[in-house]
A and B are shown apart, each in its own frame.
Chain A
Amino acid sequence: MAGIQLIGIIVALSAIHLTHLYYKRSYFSKKELFFWAGLWCVFMALALFPGSVSPLTGYLGLARPMDLIMILAFIVLFSVTFHNYVMGRTHDRELERLVRTIALRDGRRP
């Protein structure tokens, strides 16, 4: 097993452990637990058997399975980053609106 595969498996196992912890603390619902644990299991499988995507690489015209994994990883990474950014901005605006509404509601008036 290559070193990079070992790192991938360790990262995936740690993430599954964290997912379970968040579920136990009720931060995650059961649906979220299965979604994230499933996603990390797929990641682990790809790390262990990168050759399993070989049929797809030929179909997509890519030279190596690792290329496909890298492209998929980038797509996921950018999507998650964009989603996080949008959510952060949305929460930020909502928080400001809430705080200012409370201030104006509770403030004294002439």
Chain B
Amino acid sequence: MNRIAVVIPAYNEERNVALVAREAARHAEWVIVVDDGSRDGTWDAIRSLQPPIFPYRHIINLGKGAALKTGCAAAELFGAAVIVTLDADGQHPPEYIPGIVRHMDEHGLQFVFGERSGGDRMPFIRRAGNYAINQAAYRLFNLRTRDVWCGFRAFRASCLPRIPWKARDYSGEVQMALAVGRSGIPYGSYSIPTIYEEGAAKGVHILHGLKLLGQMALWRMMS
């Protein structure tokens, strides 16, 4: 199965996380779920899941970037060759895991970004925010992807040292994406449908987007 590890960072996702993990387990050798200090029953929902699902837990909330770091570190310990990340809220269909990995293999890529298509149900402000972030990633870092903020992505575990991210919060994902552009590793995109539920991307609002744009400008100046 190409030694695929799926990493799912989860925060307050008691309703969806177990289902997403079980679905992902059908397409991967290991599914690593990192409960990022959730206050609801997320940990209870995943702690009893059996291999190939492996639950991990941050005792306090650190942020999505940190949860991804822990998940990827675990995947490296397991000896994974390919790491696929997806969100715990169910907005990324796990049945697309084989497709994104196949896309990476067939095109000789090291990193593949999921690209959400048909996001008509996504609120306008969120679509506008995504557009601004993508444009900034292109203009400042020459990163050619239409969905730099999409949590569904696949990459070779061997890439990890070349795509470090420091940020602990949501911007960690973007930092990782920008590192892909900078490092020169071959990357591509893979289209996935958008399953947008009300309340998705919780805790992310316009101020996060503006802060991220500022950070990107700063990273550009420092790079």
Contacts and interface: CB of A to CB of B under 8 A. Distances in A.
How many chain B residues sit at the interface, stated as a range, is 20 to 34
Interface stretch (B72-80, B144-152, B190-198): B72-80
B168 A96 contact: yes
Interface in A66-110: 95-96, 99-100, 102-104, 106-110
Given A100-B69, A100-B73, A108 B59 contact: no
Contacts of A102: 59
Nearest to B69: A100
Q: Does more than half of chain B's interface fall in helix, strand or loop, or is it mixed?
A: mixed
Interface string B77-88: 110000000000
Contacts of A109: 54, 77-78
Given A96-B168, A110-B30, A110-B51, A104 B58 contact: no
> Nearest 6 CB-CB pairs, A to B?
A107-B56, A103-B56, A108-B54, A100-B70, A99-B58, A103-B70
Interface of A: 95-96, 99-100, 102-104, 106-110
27 contacts: A95-B60, A95-B62, A96-B62, A96-B168, A99-B37, A99-B58, A99-B62, A99-B66, A100-B69, A100-B70, A100-B73, A102-B59, A103-B34, A103-B57, A103-B59, A104-B70, A104-B73, A106-B56, A106-B57, A107-B55, A107-B56, A107-B74, A108-B54, A109-B54, A109-B77, A110-B30, A110-B52
